[in-house]
Amino acid sequence: MCQLMGMNANTPTDVMFSFAGLATRATEHKDGFGIAFFEDKGVRLFVDPESALHSPVADLVKRYPIKSSHVIAHIRKATQGQVRLQNTHPFVRELWGRYWVFAHNGDLKDFNPRLHGSFRPVGDTDSERAFCWLMQELAKAHASVPTVDELTHTLAELLPQPARHGTFNCLLGNGQALWAHCSTHLHWLERKHPFGAAHLADEDLSVDFGALTSPGDRVAIVATQPLTRGEDWTAFGAGELRVFVGGASSGYG
């Protein structure tokens, strides 16, 4: 399966440590990678159809301490769609004057919704098709710009629909919040004061967050599988939706 990672924080934070752990999983997930960093209303998007283990773009991300409050990353193992740049997650669209970023882990069978608005796939993946449908339905559901709570309620109604067609673990963000939906495998973690040391699960690398943070900092991490050892990761339940704002989490469903 593909590997997902999301970060949501109450202050701009770099994800060099977490992304280094995610990238090591590209041994089995070699069909491209991507990562999106929100910065105010803008998005820095890095995507490459090459494996994250060998991509110069991935090396740049590992070494460049981009600070963001909202990050979505994806390591691809292709199921539908060729290994091409246009099929590389995360995908980005604009709605209500904001960029929306989406990444999906899973495989949807016979999910061919009618797309009649301005959201159309560029590639040929089930993931981008589901994202376009989701943006279309969000736009239809709200006559004006909704709050995060209103969006969460709407997403709780929409996300189970593509999930009926297969595995639909996904991350969705708009720079205000990060939404995570689980079909099968997804885990989350909150880091807050008192911060301690963390050790990557797949690489001999550790970091002391206590030396790098302030007492008021709060960071939430979402990943397909726990990225670190010795931290209190929590597994999502099947069909669970969680929203992360300011590094704090609340569940829905």
**Of the listed 2, 132, 170, 182, which one is catalytic?**
2
Q: Is 2 a catalytic residue?
A: yes
Please choose, from the candidates 46, 126, 118, the residue with its C-alpha nearest in 3D space to the C-alpha of residue 87.
126
Answer for the pair 124, 89: CB distance below 8 angstroms, yes or no.
no
Please choose, from the candidates 176, 110, 104, the residue with its C-alpha nearest in 3D space to the C-alpha of residue 134.
104
CA angle (115 as vertex; 1, 44 as ends), nearest 5: 55
Please choose, from the candidates 82, 107, 97, the residue with its C-alpha nearest in 3D space to the C-alpha of residue 167.
107
DSSP conformational letter for 101: E
User: Which helix or strand (DSSP H or E) is residue 252 part of?
Assistant: strand 248-252
Neighbour tally for 97: CB within 10 Å = 7
Which residue numbers are catalytic? Answer: 2
